[in-house]
Structures are given as structure tokens and as C-alpha cells.
A and B are shown apart, each in its own frame.
Chain A
């Protein structure tokens, strides 16, 4: 009986602790990435963006995604990878309109991906 109660409490603590850590961690990673993307977007809007700027953001993302792989299905991370890679090539060719649209999608993804893991009825059902 005592063993059952202790194991039950431990398991609940692991779940609650994990949930708190996961929600904060995932949100923080995407918030930081979103900030980097917003800066990139403003630069693209002013047509001052270069390939190096996008590559710098991509580098930030590569560091973040290593940890995010533990919490998010790899297919969703892959989507961000693809959009970001496209932005690099458009920035290289100076196609600012395309860069802007790609970054807009990425910003939207940064807002939506953490939402799919939040405790909401639509995510549970």
C-alpha cells in the first residue's frame, strides 16, 4: 500500500514536472526564434537583408531544434527547416518579396507549433 502510494506520487510528480518544463521550454525556444525571425522580417521589408542574415538565423534554429526534437514530432521541425532553407536561397538572389513571404510563414509556424501542444480541448480530442 505504502509502496503503491509512493510510486503513484512519484509518477504524478514526473508527469506534472515534465509538463511544466516542456511547456515553458518549447514556448521559450519558439519565442526566441520568433524574435530572430521578426528582426529578419524587418530587414527584408527594408530590402537590407543578406544571405548571411538568414544563415545566422538558420544557425540559431539548428541549435534549438536539437533539443526540440525531444518534444516535437520531427515532421513539424522539418517543415521549419524547409521554409528556412528556401529563404536562404531567395535572400541570396535578392528576391525580397519571396523572402518576406517565407519569413511570414515561419513566424506563423512559430506561433502555431507550440499551440498544438498546449492543453486545449481541440488538441485532446
Chain B
């Protein structure tokens, strides 16, 4: 019995650590420890149920152990903020007043396309539509929309530069040459490797975030003119 208890404990802790290291991508509206419980409880219940050679008590002990761990983690989370941070992580501000925070995204094993995807599921199609976007510790995205975002002409943006790397397909789709892009960036006293994010929509509205600088938007056609 105690063997099963400690085995369950080891698996639980390992899964917790792995899940926390994986970042927020793997969790869906659950705290990491809740996700771990959900992940293993089904198997624990099924194995002794289906295999008559295994005493039912094996499954019961493991399930009760998980219950103990779940309650214990809930208690610890409520007791101290440090423990809450260790167990569940903390929310990550991925868009702030300076624009996209690539560092925070990378910390959570996410990239710009994941952020855009999460924003789209919230009804925001441009990075410029929100003041703030926060990945909560349960993996859910919370956003604070800009007041006038609905008045923007509707269009879906595409990524031109992601973490200093050009997306050549999107560049071609938008009819922009690499030279034109370099020229546009040169006008803004920057180069491709320093650009963290650059998107463009069908209205030629460009969203650009340069390393260590606040984001800005401009119209590409006007920029050419």
C-alpha cells in the first residue's frame, strides 16, 4: 500500500515538474496539478477495473493518494504566494503597452503565431486590437481590448518577421520583396534581426515591435509614398 502511495507521489511530482517546464501551452483552463490529476486518474481507475488479476485496492490507494495530493496542493496554494507561484506558475503578460513581449512568450514555450491564434479565438484579429494580453497560470488568455478596435477596417494580419526571421511565403503573398522590406526598416533605423514581430494586414497596416522599443503601427503604402 505504501509502495503504491510513494509510486503515485513520484509520478505525480514528475508530471507536475514536466508540465510546469512545458509552459502554458499544454494546459487548458486548469491549474497544472489539476491537469496532472485528470491525466492519470482515468488510467488508475481503468487498470484494476479491467484486469481481474490486480486487486481493486491498488487502484483505490492510488486514487486516494491523488486526492490527498490534490487537496494538499490546493491548501499550499492558498497559504502562500510563493508556493502558488511554484505550484501553478504566474500569469504572463504577453502584450503590454510596449507591444508583444517575446521574452514572456518564449518563457512559456509559445511563439507569435500561438499568440495570434489565441487572440483570434478571443475575437481579436490584430495584435494592435488589445492593450494587454495575459496568459493566465491555467493557460487561458485574458485580454483588455482597445476601445476603438471594432472601428478598424476588418482584415487578417500575416506575420512578416518573427523573432528576427523573415517569413518568405507571407512576404510573397503580400507582394513585398525582401529589398522593399529592408528599405522600410532602414527608414525606421532598424534591421531584420532586431525586429521581434512584424505583421501586415490587407489594409497594409503594419504592426512592428523592435527589440527593447515600444511597438508602433504604420501604413506600408504611405511609407512607400
Q: How far is the CB of B202 from chain A (nearest CB, A)?
A: 53
Say yes or no: is B225 at the interface (Cβ < 8 Å to chain A): no
Is B61 a contact of A7 with CB atoms below 8 Å? no
Say yes or no: is B113 at the interface (Cβ < 8 Å to chain A): no
Is A15 a contact of B71 with CB atoms below 8 Å? no
**For window 29-71 of chain B, which residues contact chain A by CB distance below 8 Å?**
52-57, 61, 64-65, 67-68, 71
Name A's B-contacting residues (CB within 8 A): 1, 4-5, 7-8, 11-12, 14-15, 18-19, 22-23, 69-75, 117-120, 123-124
Is A4 a contact of B75 with CB atoms below 8 Å? yes
**With the chains together, A23 CA to B2 CA distance in Å?**
9
Choose from B2, B55, B68 the contact partner of A19 (Cβ within 8 Å). Answer: B2
**With the chains together, A70 CA to B54 CA distance in Å?**
9
Chain A at the B interface: SS class: helix
Say yes or no: is B173 at the interface (Cβ < 8 Å to chain A): no
| Chain A residue at minimum C-beta to C-beta distance from B5 | A15
Q: Which residues of B contact A118 (CB under 8 A)?
A: 3
Is A70 a contact of B55 with CB atoms below 8 Å? yes
Q: Which residues of A contact B71 (CB under 8 A)?
A: 4, 7-8, 11
Say yes or no: is B1 at the interface (Cβ < 8 Å to chain A): yes
- Residues 85-124 of chain B, each 1 if its beta carbon lies under 8 Å from chain A, else 0: 0000000000000000000000000000000000000000
**With the chains together, A119 CA to B65 CA distance in Å?**
16
Say yes or no: is B7 at the interface (Cβ < 8 Å to chain A): yes
Is A11 a contact of B53 with CB atoms below 8 Å? no
Q: How far is the CB of A29 from chain B (nearest CB, A)?
A: 14
Q: Which residues of A contact B223 (CB under 8 A)?
A: none
Q: Which residues of A contact B7 (CB under 8 A)?
A: 124
Choose from A5, A7, A75 the contact partner of B53 (Cβ within 8 Å). Answer: A75
Known: A4-B75, A19-B2, A124-B7. A70 touches B57 (CB 8 A): yes
- Residues 1-22 of chain B, each 1 if its beta carbon lies under 8 Å from chain A, else 0: 1110111001000000000000
Known: A8-B68, A18-B61. A73 touches B1 (CB 8 A): no
A-B pairs with lowest CB-CB distance, top 9:
A74-B53, A19-B1, A8-B71, A119-B2, A124-B6, A11-B68, A123-B3, A22-B1, A19-B2
